[in-house]
Amino acid sequence: MLLLVGLGNPGPRYAKNRHNAGFMAVDRIVRGHSFGAFRARSRFEGEVAEGILGPEKALALKPDTFMNESGRSVRKLSTYYKIAPERIIVIHDDLDLAPGKVKVKLDGGNAGHNGLEDIDAHIGRDYWRLRIGIGHPGDRDLVTPYVLSDFAQSDSAWLDPLLDAIAEAAPLLSAGDELGFMSRVARLTRREEAAAAKTDPEPPDGS
């Protein structure tokens, strides 16, 4: 069994924040594949959806805890279903990646990400991380307000195609083909960029 964990903060106040990119991605995966709807599961302190992704059964989790206590929810659900850390994929925002870039990595540091830090404390570091680049504000003092602010309207030009690409390519993660996943996401997003460029109106003469 595979466990997909989207990281974010619960409630409508945070729904469009950059820090909720993990929630957004797991929502898109659940809608795009054979999953039931998310249901609140108090015993796991989160919302859980069940379904099939690629060749196997999968669970999707959105912790109801705030970001810095995500690990408790992940530990409770993974322990109950006996899911080993190497079958857990945590999807989260990443300041160190340019907006729209995606990387998948097993183990590694948490780079100060509160959600990852708490998960490390509860289940160790031997799980997969799907990093969604949101860029950096340029000043460490601006990081907190930046991640807790909504994506800019202009970000939808890359964010929506990226979330769609992650959802479409997600079965490759279930099959253990992380490199294939990243390659397919890159190919799908390039295709969307090319299509968008073709539909852009020509600039007026003299501009």
pLDDT digits (tens, 9 = 90+) for 135-150: 999 999 999 999 999 9
Q: What digits encode the pLDDT tens for the residues 41-66?
A: 999 999 999 999 988 999 999 999 99
Residue 111: per-residue pLDDT: 78
Q: Is residue 205 in a domain? A: no
Is 19 a known active-site residue?
Answer: yes
Residue 207 lies in a domain: no
The amino acid present at 143, given as its one-letter code, is V
pLDDT band at 191 (very low <50, low <70, confident <90, very high): confident
Using CA atoms, how far apart are residues 186 and 171, in angstroms rounded to an integer? 15
pLDDT at 48: 98
Whether residue 133 is contained in a domain is answered as yes
Residue 205: the pLDDT is 57
Q: Say if 113 falls within a structural domain.
A: yes
Which tens digit of pLDDT belongs to each residue from 146-189?
Answer: 999 999 999 999 999 999 999 999 999 999 999 999 999 999 99
Q: What is the rounded CA–CA span in Å between residue 119 and residue 124?
A: 7
> Do strands 34-35 and 88-94 pair parallel, antiparallel, or not at all (unpaired)?
unpaired
Other residues' Cβ atoms within 10 Å of the Cβ of residue 126? 12
User: Has residue 206 been placed in a domain?
Assistant: no
At 93, which amino acid appears? D
Residue 17 lies in a domain: yes
Residue 204 domain-assigned (yes or no)? no
Question: In this predicted model, what pLDDT tens digit does every residue of 8-32 receive, in sequence order?
Answer: 999 999 999 999 999 999 999 999 9
CATH (domain of 10):
3.40.50.1470
**Active-site hit among 19, 33, 92, 113:** 19
If you search the block for the tokens 């997969």, which residue do you land on? Answer: 128
User: What's the domain range around 52?
Assistant: 2-199
* Total number of domains constituting the chain: 1
Q: Does some domain include residue 175?
A: yes
Instruction: Please say whether the beta carbons of 91 and 132 come within 8 A.
Output: yes
Q: CA torsion 120→27→131→167, rounded to 10°? A: 130
97: which residues sit within 8 A by CB, 6+ positions away? 103, 131, 132, 133, 134, 135
DSSP for residue 150: B
